[in-house]
């Protein structure tokens, strides 16, 4: 029998809400930076929360769709950075299997693990993927794109560490911890 691999309604809703929040925060809450065409962003903290809660498919698609909408609202999509955002969502989404935030667990160990994943995701996205695709797709000058990528990676990792960690701590507190409910006699 062939197994169908359909996305659940919950996953589709999470992608839609994640993309919408990513768009609104990225479009209207971007903080100007000293590096040209680069801003300090808080939407990656929110994207990371969706990725950790719902997994890599939500991380990839919410990031890809949200970033595409931001770019379209400014004129035209910059595909190298849109793809980099999707890569970030993918990497952080893999943390879902290791971080049991849905079970109410998000202590020191999980905070460290989350931040390792998100830092690796940002390094991969902004130091490797975005600059390489900028060269391949847009023939951008090396000096400019690696400065932008390094700044984006560092500033996004810091903002994700703050925003994402705070949101995941708050979310974990709303969840019932596994084994915390006992049957009364």
Decide if pLDDT at 2 tops 50: no
CA 99/CA 96 separation, integer angstroms: 5
Task: Sort residue 183 into left (φ over 0), alpha (ψ -120 to 50) or beta.
Answer: beta
User: 133-176: per-residue pLDDT in tens?
Assistant: 999 999 988 888 888 999 999 999 999 999 999 999 999 999 98
**Cα 121 versus chain centre, distance:** 8
pTM equals: 0.90
Output the six-digit token pair for 115: 């931040």
- State what percent of residues in the chain have pLDDT above 90: 82
User: 91-140: per-residue pLDDT in tens?
Assistant: 999 999 999 999 999 999 999 999 999 999 999 999 999 999 999 999 98
CATH 1.10.1760.20, domain 9-174, yes or no:
yes
**Following DSSP, what letter does each residue of 31-90 receive, concatenated?**
EE-SSTT-EE-SHHHHHHHHHHHH-HHHHHHHHHHHHHHHHHHHSS--HHHHHHHHHHHH
CA 91/CA 177 separation, integer angstroms: 26
Domain boundaries, the chain: 9-174
Output the six-digit token pair for 141: 């000058």
């Amino acid at each position: 029998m062939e197994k169908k691999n359909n996305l659940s309604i919950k996953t589709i809703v999470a992608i839609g809400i994640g993309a919408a929040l990513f768009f609104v925060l990225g479009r209207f809450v971007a903080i100007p930076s000293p590096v040209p065409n680069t801003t300090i962003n808080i939407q990656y903290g929110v994207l990371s929360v969706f990725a950790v809660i719902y997994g890599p498919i939500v991380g990839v698609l919410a990031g890809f769709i949200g970033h595409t909408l931001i770019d379209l609202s400014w004129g035209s999509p910059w595909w190298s950075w849109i793809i980099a955002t999707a890569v970030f969502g993918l990497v952080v989404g893999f943390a879902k299997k290791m971080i049991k935030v849905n079970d109410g667990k998000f202590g020191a160990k999980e905070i460290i693990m989350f931040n390792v994943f998100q830092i690796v995701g940002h390094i991969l996205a902004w130091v490797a993927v975005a600059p390489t695709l900028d060269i391949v797709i847009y023939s951008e000058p090396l000096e400019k794109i690696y400065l932008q990528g390094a700044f984006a990676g560092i500033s996004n990792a810091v903002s994700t560490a703050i925003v994402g960690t705070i949101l995941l701590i708050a979310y974990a507190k709303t969840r019932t911890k596994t084994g915390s409910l006992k049957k009364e006699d």
